[in-house]
Structure 1
Amino acid sequence: MTASAASLSDPAAARRPRICLGIETSCDETAAAVVVSDPAAQPGQGRPLGTIRAHLVLSQIDEHQGFGGVVPEIAARAHIDHLDRLVAATLDEAKLGLGDLDAIAVTSGPGLIGGVMVGLMTAKGLALGAGVPLLGINHLEAHALTARLTHGVAFPFLLLLVSGGHCLIAEVTGLGQYRRLGATIDDAVGEAFDKTARLLGLGYPGGPAVEAAARDGDPARFAFPRPMIGRPDCDFSFSGLKTAVRQEAERIRVLSRQDVADLAASFQAAVSDSVADRVGRAAEAFVASHGRGHALVVAGGVAANTALRTRLGDVATRRGLHLVAPPVRLCTDNGAMIAWAGLEHLAAGGDLSADDGLALIPRARWPLDPHAEQIVAGGRGRHRG
């Protein structure tokens, strides 16, 4: 079933399922997956457009926990140590060999450059040996397209991407067609969760730790600011909120367990209010352009936060949209999202050969919307990606 330029341009081949191996090493998860497309599935019908045949993620939480965040050199070394075995185990779980693949997809950026390089070099060797196309995938785009794999979301849709390194809202009108509506001007929301968790002694990763502590807390005890609420744009800011939590914790000095829970709950409520306001403004603009009935897709690791999902569901309903969030295991970085993005590009790319991907280079920055680079260069905010 090895792919070639001839087979990829064959109409009969286009009507059969395609098989893609995805490799993700942009941060602190070493991940690989095999995804198979479903040519009979159509976007907008609410059914998955593909099937995950194998999905393995090796977390590096233990390696980074003592530092309160990801150490790039440690992450890259861990990818080197584990990626080959993880790919082999993924293919074994899928009961496939390299010769059964139609393509290999790999994160080419944005991300920690050392980790991206490890994944890219490994993928180049595998693609060259198997004689299949290699597709370099934008990590942000892979998050954006995951809802099409899991829920068959049709274009256009409104995207909220929230993770440790990225925080943005974009209008998605087609494959490769992304228009940024808003982004963080300082910290990403996941970064704010991590730093707040470290401040409160809750450990790493911060998102799940803060959410767990907040369950026993009073979200109204501390009147934290709601950054950017009411602003006419759709941008985010979390640095001031993070500072407010630190100042309140320093005022109390010796934090009881209840103090920590209340601080976590109040912080989480402030984040949810701020994000809901920003997304609501973007949703109004999106509906004005495209009408009601489309999806609001929330992706990225912070999308696993239950309180935030609940608020975003309300925002979507009020604007005539429906909220779509991938399963929690596909919100954080994973190989399935990379494999699926590869299949989307494979279907749209026509003739591809095994040599096309050998010229790929790792990219520490790679914005979804190329125009976003011009905005940042002009002095408006800081785009994480």
Structure 2
Amino acid sequence: MSGLWNRSRQCLSQGSLFPHRVSLTARLPPLQQAHLQPRQTRRALLTLAIETSCDDTCVAILEKSKTGAARLHFNEKITSDNRAFRGVHPLTAVVSHTENLAPLIQKALQSLPDAPRVEDGSHAKTLSVDGRPRLRPDFVSVTRGPGMTSNLATGLNHAKGLAVAWDVPLLAVNHMQAHALTPRLVHALRGQEVIPSHSPAAEAATGDQNMRSPEFPFLSLLVSGGHTMLVHSRGLNEHAILANALNIAVGDMIDKCARMIVPADVLSAEDSASGMYGPVLEEFAFPGSGASPDYEYNYEAPARRADEIKTFDSGHDWVLTPPLARMGKTAADMFDFAGLNGQIQKLMAEKPDMDVEVRRILAQAAMTLVFEHLTGRLVFALQAHSEKSAAAGWQSRIKTVVLSGGVASNKFLRHVVREMLDARGYADVEVVAPPASLCTDNAAMIAWTGMEMYEAGWRSDLNVLTLRKWPLDPNAEGGGILGASGWYKAPRD
């Protein structure tokens, strides 16, 4: 059937005290506070991270050596069961976080590295876990936002408790920044061999070990159930939003399409505790693609914008119009998924008895139109950057595109992006994406972002609150990542 679509898409500390601010110093200006915070040096850095922005309860332990190599000692998640709601139910997710986070942290502590023997008699920074001395994390990382307020608060409050108990700094980081930096984590994990076999982190170790760490600047398509944005990442905390969703996010749209298009018996057979049906739609549209690394999509990328926005004629008495087809570069900064979703909803209401093969054509068409729409904005951005570079006499162009967020685990999306860039003259632009387990929400990416922020000297006050909305762009209202209150800089060694 795919051939029909050739264009017709986580104890207390036993170690020496680490000076940390308490209520008497909390009101000091950041520069005065910083003098109270000498940096700790150790052969390697170790952090425990927590992610609870939505319905996944996630904990990770990450270690990074001075050489830059990273090792995941623990990385697990527990997803709330939202099947009865056919989508994320906030209260159900909060109950799941409350029930599962403390036991998951307790389990993670058993994976902390054993504390080394100290020959010079100095006092090692250790924790006693089940009677064994283990290294104490240097800091605690946690998602502060964006996300669901009550969900975020569960993780943030646990993280604050650990930071106080262990007398270590807190790094409260931006969830979307973490998604954008995930390929840098994957690169740092290269060559890792030992991860607990029971952990979902195993996939991270067996992913693309040759993935290069994207150097700034690069472009990111951050695509998930709650976000769709094209980001120009110029530095650790400099992320300009080039395009954003007008209405629903791409992951939300794909889930809705799956529930409308995929036969009910297939959906009920799928054990999707989160109620996220994107992977079901992908497998339904392209049977066998999930199990085959060399699946042939028989997809022909549109060589021109005019080809990209052509109306899709199914040959079965129905058509689909691509998103924003009648708008040119004036709409280069926006994504629209509600319109196409509405077309499909109307079509399925008119043809509720549509047979399986025609439903498969519809699934293929929906995904292709959506992914070409995403990539079309990416092409606009590459063109604009090239034109700006030429006008300024720069001899540079964007060399890397990062695909991140839950939807980035979709193999067909990766295929479409690669093929379209090749067809539009950007074959030299590298497309990088993490393994699937690191595309969806996870604590490993929070640990890595905490690590990068810690190394850059940033710390978070213990009085920080969750941020339901927290834009990446420093030019946006609120001043982006560093515009949020509660950051302070630790002095350099």
TM range (shorter): 0.7 to 0.9
Q: How does 1:126-165 map to 2 (within 5 A)?
A: 126-151=162-187, 152-165=213-226
Q: How does 1:60-71 map to 2 (within 5 A)?
A: 60=80, 63-71=81-89
* Aligned-residue RMSD, C-alpha: 2.5
Question: Is 1:106 aligned to residue 139 of structure 2?
Answer: no
Amino acid across the alignment from 1:345? M
Equivalent residue of 1:284, what SS?
helix
Question: Is 1:228 aligned to residue 324 of structure 2?
Answer: yes
**Separation in structure 2 between the aligned mates of residue 2 and residue 174 of structure 1, nearest angstrom:** 35
**Separation in structure 2 between the aligned mates of residue 373 and residue 330 of structure 1, nearest angstrom:** 29
**Separation in structure 1 between the aligned mates of residue 55 and residue 466 of structure 2, nearest angstrom:** 16
**Separation in structure 2 between the aligned mates of residue 70 and residue 357 of structure 1, nearest angstrom:** 31
**Separation in structure 1 between the aligned mates of residue 333 and residue 16 of structure 2, nearest angstrom:** 46
Which residue number in structure 1 is paired with residue 286 of structure 2?
A: 215
**Aligned partner (choices 473, 483, 493) of residue 369 of structure 1:** 473
**1:49-104 alpha-carbon deviations (Å, 9 max, x no partner):** 522221101122xx201211000011011000000011111222344675520111
Amino acid across the alignment from 1:267? A
Which residue number in structure 2 is paired with residue 74 of structure 1?
A: 92
**1:157-199 alpha-carbon deviations (Å, 9 max, x no partner):** 1111000000001111111111110001111100101111222
**1:310-338 alpha-carbon deviations (Å, 9 max, x no partner):** 11123445323101101110000000000
Equivalent residue of 2:354, what SS?
coil
Question: Is 1:40 aligned to residue 47 of structure 2?
Answer: no
Higher percent of residues as helix: 1
Amino acid across the alignment from 2:368? A
**Aligned partner (choices 368, 374, 381) of residue 282 of structure 1:** 381
**1:119-152 alpha-carbon deviations (Å, 9 max, x no partner):** 0011110110011111111110110111111132
Amino acid across the alignment from 2:433? A
Amino acid across the alignment from 2:286? R
Q: How does 1:1-385 map to 2 (within 5 A)?
A: 4=18, 9=39, 13=41, 16-41=43-68, 49-60=69-80, 63-95=81-113, 100-151=136-187, 152-200=213-261, 201=264, 202=267, 204-216=275-287, 221=314, 223-229=319-325, 231-232=328-329, 233-287=332-386, 288-289=388-389, 291-292=396-397, 294-317=399-422, 318-319=425-426, 320-349=428-457, 356-373=460-477
Amino acid across the alignment from 2:279? P
**1:265-299 alpha-carbon deviations (Å, 9 max, x no partner):** 11111111111111111122344447236210010
Which residue number in structure 2 is paired with residue 381 of structure 1?
A: none
Q: Which runs of 5+ in 2 are unaligned?
A: 1-14, 20-35, 115-125, 128-134, 188-212, 269-274, 288-296, 300-311, 480-493
**Separation in structure 2 between the aligned mates of residue 82 and residue 286 of structure 1, nearest angstrom:** 46
Worse overlay, 260-269 or 198-207: 198-207
Q: Percent identity?
A: 33
Which has more radius of gyration?
A: 2
**Separation in structure 2 between the aligned mates of residue 372 and residue 315 of structure 1, nearest angstrom:** 30
**1:228-254 alpha-carbon deviations (Å, 9 max, x no partner):** 356212311000100111111122121
Length, aligned pairs only = 359
**1:212-237 alpha-carbon deviations (Å, 9 max, x no partner):** 11114999736322213562123110
- Seen in structure 2, the aligned counterparts of structure 1 residues 293 and 236 have a Cα distance that, compared at 3 Å, is closer
**1:24-71 alpha-carbon deviations (Å, 9 max, x no partner):** 000011001111123213xxxxxxx522221101122xx201211000
- Seen in structure 2, the aligned counterparts of structure 1 residues 198 and 2 have a Cα distance that, compared at 3 Å, is farther
**Separation in structure 1 between the aligned mates of residue 377 and residue 59 of structure 2, nearest angstrom:** 34
**Separation in structure 2 between the aligned mates of residue 181 and residue 293 of structure 1, nearest angstrom:** 14
Q: Which runs of 5+ in 1 are unaligned?
A: 42-48, 376-385
The TM-score with structure 2 as length reference comes to: 0.68
Amino acid across the alignment from 1:105? S
Equivalent residue of 1:93, what SS?
coil
**Separation in structure 1 between the aligned mates of residue 113 and residue 356 of structure 2, nearest angstrom:** 49
**Separation in structure 1 between the aligned mates of residue 298 and residue 107 of structure 2, nearest angstrom:** 45
